[in-house]
Structure 1
């Protein structure tokens, strides 16, 4: 009876009972002294420190326990971990099942901040899917609610304001981004977190680049010196600034910043490095720097093969094929395109495979290879019919 009450979290276990369990099962006394809530809290802290290499199975296991014991504040924190992971890895099917459960946990919690965080994650989800106006609307609502709650000095308000500016920039609504950025400047006057301030100054610099302002260098310098030893964040800042420069025709400086970002990004976290390098590779190809990008692709391939990161490996093969195709070296383009397709078949969605068949069909058409062109267009047609 006593053990049943302990198991159902109705009473705290006494030491003499724990000593019997420790003796019989060979477990750690401190581990047993933690109740269910304490265990979940400890696990959340562990999961947050493990990113990006978290165990999804372990997180979901903790979600089940948090829901079972009605710890909805904890289940929401766990859903945030899952949400972030799924978004970063393009796991749309998993997101579609997570969102209703996350919403349900939020509805059962009376904490306004938990509700606000939910809407911020939904805004991020919408933005990732290209629904900029809806994402901006969600973030705007969040900011208004935080102001009503007198939370303008909260982490949530800072995050919401920053995200709203970023969303407007990415949606090419620079005028609105500039307007909201005035609130970011106010945040700089009281926020003590230097990394957050660095990110704010970076965004202010990007807005100046788009508007052709004369404070670009000032904001850049203020941002870069605040990253201090966060070398990965600093490299990412160089890259973000470079993308804004490319889009505004400042190509020489942009190229210098991209090269600096890719070369200075720390090589210690290989998976994160792979993801960063492949982003840089994509940008360099978009702006026609084919020769420069090949060395970085080789580094990505070596790392992705070593770590068995099939999606990144596939992208590296695909980008290499694109370079050779644009150089009219169709033999090499065909080789790497087929390697890319083999990798994509292991994890890609029907839509992704359909698009790849179409791309390969077009490549063979440009090569004058009619038979193979028809073959891949036919495969794409069959795939297209299976959507309905």
Structure 2
């Protein structure tokens, strides 16, 4: 009897190890009476607040992905820093940044310029299957720890980091949004749609079942209250084939034809502008713009165009969600005071050579804090 009592804790421990973590509840069809702004929105092409299209601001969501370095920051300074919308407020953008080779002093600069800083993971490693099959612990180490890392080395408020995008736009289904909630993030912008483009799908929460098509499986099926989806509404190329990012289109215009690229951007923009005015995504990698000067000139012309339109506003993903939660007509939106940013100080320090746990290479790292002992990486975000 005594032996049996002694064994009970061991048996209980083994049984506990065999019990899997309970799954999130399966999302049910959306109940529009219960799902109300500002905290909940059904997945829908309907305009928030029941506004008419003519009264709805057309938001242009410009995002750039991957590491921030001296080369691409020179492009950002040249193309973006001086831009304003027609209401004379600074034009916005969102940067989804991965850690490796990023210059944190320049991330600090982007933040101080008023741009949104988002997460793209610490490692951004291949193959794509790594992200598809990633479990909760892996994604927490990649994204939740990156949020801490970004705040620490770029010396920006952790509370200012609210969005993420998965590498290769590869989600891990429900695990992605479990991590989003646990890490104190507000939204993910990895989920592309080719079925809801005309009219386009507006941002929504995952309190209830999503109607969005699953282009890159697995997609979330669970209820994750308050977690926002900012859909990546596809463009259509010259063969009418959808593409999530302009650089990935199968049949784009000739890269040496500026006029064709300008018309390509305008045509895809008008699909939103002349319909339900769902946010229009300009999802780019800086290298693509820099590699093809005619594309860059077309890009500049397009930005010039939208910055001059009285009903169109180039903003960050965070700004889009702020409006969706509290939708107001164009006239009211134009009268809102321009946002200001409390500048985050940065004592620029170049660190290195730093050894790394994942490679035999050594790294140099520009950042705004004390130098780490080793190169920060997954499982060791502060480089201790």
Query: What TM bracket, shorter-length normalisation?
Result: under 0.3
Structure whose CA Rg is larger: 1
Higher relative contact order (CA 8 A, sep 6+): 2
TM, length-normalised to structure 2: 0.25
Per residue, is there more strand in 1 or in 2?
2
Give the TM-score taking structure 1 as reference length: 0.25
